[in-house]
Amino acid sequence: MANIDRRSFLTGTLATGALAATGAMFGCSPKAEGESAAAPQDGAEKSSGTTWDAKPASVAGDVAETKDYDIVIVGAGNSGMVAALRAAELGGKVAVLEQGTVPTMWAGDIDACDSQLMKDQGLEADKEYIIHDLVRYASGKCDENLIRLWAYNSGRFVDWYQENLQKKGADVMVDTIKKKFYPDNFYFTNVYHTAYQPPLQETANPMGSEVAMPIMVELFGEAGGEILFENKAVELVQEGEGGKVTGVIAETPDGYVQYNASKGVMLACGGFLGNKDMMDEWGVVAHKYCTNHIGDEGRNGDGIKLATWAGAERDSSSAGSMLIFDRGCITAAGEDNGGLGVQGGGCPNFWWPGSQPFLRVNALGKRYCNEDNTYDFAFNLAVQQPGHFWWQVFDDSCWEDIVNFGTTICSRLVAEEGAKNCLLLGQFYPCRDDAEWREVYLEPNVENGNVIRCDTLEELADTMGFDADAKANFLATVERYNEMAAAGEDVDFHKAPWRLSGLDKPPYYAAKMAGWALATLTGVHVNDKMQAVTPEGKAIEGLYVAGLDVGGFFNGNYPQLYGGLCMGRCTTLAWLGAHAMMGEEYPVPVESAKMAF
């Protein structure tokens, strides 16, 4: 095994080797992250004929080696590593099993309430308002107790997170920009936090998990923890059907290994964005209208499957929930809808400015909505249209329009004081002026075909592939839109005046848009200790669940105005779960929901 530092971690050394720095131990045989390590076993028990809940035959008789730990965590993502580090700090002998060859370094913003950072800057979250708003977002089809656990403990988690990052020279910032959203009377203070590496540069900065994950790994190793790559969990060890979970069996390059866990197993496997069959069976139909699924490699539903096979109840009410952005781009040169339903890691077809509230028209050339919407609402509105896609249309005064729009959270394209200035997905960050906007976003996407550019609206309509009727509709739509923009009033869909933008300065641009899937948002039910529970509400002793394998928090949509809420709830609840596994009582305010530990 090779000794490496955090710099080599970030530059990809781990992709072909293993980390032994400061005691963190990694497997060393390379294999693509997310590659299946176990084929279905002969004689598998079929409970309903579907692909996700078919319990394989036991491999216990094939175990070649057994190892003993206090805690075993399955999944070296954000949630798994947070729980692992906290449990190790509390004195546990902890192992993390990861089916891939590197930890997950995707995502980075953490929504939290009343961290010390917020208090220092005079920001206060109205936790009860937020709780009730999130319950409303879920139409009441949620576990309010989980939402309360996040709201009243997330600030403490971020304080712990920041303290640990500071040990290695990194830090956490909180976005302090306050924005006015549609409708006019709705305000929200962004309370999302991001890890970064000081000193900040004027332009792009590595942030989020890219900074935090190597530090978490290093600290975990210093605390005596072990990370074992190329260990695909295939079976939980239980004391009889539905009984106590005492360990997990993993398939490794050297055969099956059983990891006993005296204090419990935590499943944090990242949901099932990479399992198309499972998404279809669970009713996650939205993935069919997305151009790519970022982070789907290895997200094959293993954690949810293992928990279900052990007797846990799935959250069937939220089965179709996904985290979706309106930034997937169907390459203009491709066939109609040719890019929809594509799966694969990375972001080959997306247009980051797709969330900007420019004019949107459907396949018939008609405007169909108020474009000033949150990411998933905008996507959902478009899915109702012919072809399930939309066109975003703008002119050459686009930078001026973007400045006026003033969008926030990760759709922000304008560098502002108090807002994080970050390097997103390797190349995207808020711009300082028109020249930078064109260099970073516009010109590269015109060149690669994601954005069409034409000198006239007539030529643009032809290049968009409109027939005569759709072209006539499109030209009439633009004419009316320009009239409303000039008058400063959208009488058709009542978009806010400062987010109206006429199309009168050639050349003209259009991008053919669809969804961009980031995560599934459902899993199995848990209690307030993060223990998986049966349909009768009984905790499965020794089995804990975290991250995107947990159900009960979201339903139907993702509350996009709460920037970083997905990672915030995943990491906060995983952190609390680590306390529960170690039998530690953690103080919470009396006004919070009950916590039994």
Please name the helix (run of DSSP H) or strand (run of DSSP E) that holds residue 111, with its range, or none.
strand 109-111
First to last CA, the chain: 40
| Count of Cβ atoms closer than 10 Å to residue 461 Cβ | 26
DSSP string, 50-63: -SSS-BPPP-GGGE
Q: Give me 240's structure tokens.
A: 């009889």
CB half-sphere exposure, 335, CA atoms < 13 A: 2
Q: Is residue 190 scored above 60 in pLDDT?
A: no
Q: Is residue 23 scored above 50 in pLDDT?
A: no
pLDDT at 252: 98
Q: How confident is the model at residue 79 (pLDDT cuts 50, 70, 90)?
A: very high
For range 196-204, the mean pLDDT: 75
Q: Is residue 419 scored above 80 in pLDDT?
A: no
Q: Is residue 453 scored above 50 in pLDDT?
A: yes
Q: Give me 218's structure tokens.
A: 């290093």
Q: Is residue 393 scored above 60 in pLDDT?
A: yes
pLDDT at 418: 64
DSSP class of residue 87? H
Query: Phi then psi for 562, rounded to 5 degrees?
Result: -95, 80
For range 392-416, the mean pLDDT: 89
DSSP string, 549-590: GB-SS-BSB--TTSTTHHHHHHHHHHHHHHHHHTT------T
Is there a contact between 97 and 248 (Cβ–Cβ < 8 Å)? yes
pLDDT at 269: 96
Q: Parallel, antiparallel, or unpaired: how do β-strands 539-545 and 531-533 relate?
A: antiparallel
pLDDT at 198: 86
Is there a contact between 453 and 508 (Cβ–Cβ < 8 Å)? yes
Please name the helix (run of DSSP H) or strand (run of DSSP E) that holds residue 211, with its range, or none.
helix 209-222
- The more confidently predicted of residues 553 and 298 is 553
CA-CA distances (angstroms) from residue 464 to 165, 449, 582? 49, 12, 59
Q: Is residue 49 scored above 50 in pLDDT?
A: no
- The more confidently predicted of residues 205 and 304 is 304
Query: Phi then psi for 233, rounded to 5 degrees?
Result: -65, 125
Q: How far apart are CA 451 and CA 75, in angstroms?
A: 38
DSSP class of residue 336? T
What are the pLDDT digits (tens) for 327-342?
988 865 444 444 555 5
Q: How far apart are CA 363 and CA 371, in angstroms?
A: 16
Topology at the third CATH level for domain 322-517 = Flavocytochrome C3; Chain A, domain 1 (3.90.700)
Domain boundaries, the chain: 27-33+62-105+219-321+522-581, 109-196, 322-517
Is there a contact between 520 and 322 (Cβ–Cβ < 8 Å)? yes
Give the homologous superfamily in CATH for domain 27-33+62-105+219-321+522-581.
FAD/NAD(P)-binding domain (3.50.50.60)
**Torsion over CA: 461, 465, 469, 474 (sign):** negative
Q: Is residue 525 scored above 80 in pLDDT?
A: yes
Q: How far apart are CA 94 and CA 532, in angstroms?
A: 20
Q: How confident is the model at residue 346 (pLDDT cuts 50, 70, 90)?
A: very low
Q: Is residue 321 scored above 60 in pLDDT?
A: yes
Q: Is residue 459 scored above 70 in pLDDT?
A: yes
Any idea which residue has 């990411």 for tokens? 375
Over the chain, what is the mean pLDDT? 83
Q: Is residue 513 scored above 90 in pLDDT?
A: yes
Q: How far apart are CA 110 and CA 59, in angstroms?
A: 39
Nearest CA-CA partner of 184 in 495, 408, 463, 441: 495
Q: Is residue 414 scored above 70 in pLDDT?
A: yes
pLDDT at 24: 34
Q: How confident is the model at residue 53 (pLDDT cuts 50, 70, 90)?
A: confident
pLDDT at 560: 83
Minimum mean pLDDT among 27-31, 443-447, 585-589: which range? 27-31
Q: How far apart are CA 531 and CA 515, in angstroms?
A: 33
CA dihedral 323, 531, 270, 313 (to 10 degrees): -70
pLDDT at 409: 80
303-320 residues labelled b (16+ CB within 10 A) or e (exposed): bbbbbbbbbbbbbebbbb
pLDDT at 65: 98
Q: Is residue 48 scored above 60 in pLDDT?
A: no
Q: How confident is the model at residue 179 (pLDDT cuts 50, 70, 90)?
A: low
pLDDT at 335: 44
Minimum mean pLDDT among 17-26, 290-299, 422-431: which range? 17-26
**What SS3 string covers 119-172?**
HHCCCCCCHHHHHHHHHHHCCCCCCHHHHHHHHHHHHHHHHHHHHHHHCCCCEE
For range 293-304, the mean pLDDT: 79
Is there a contact between 97 and 29 (Cβ–Cβ < 8 Å)? no
* pTM for this predicted structure: 0.87
Q: How confident is the model at residue 407 (pLDDT cuts 50, 70, 90)?
A: confident
Q: Is residue 570 scored above 70 in pLDDT?
A: yes
| Residues across the chain | 597
Of the chain, the percentage scoring pLDDT greater than 90 comes to 59
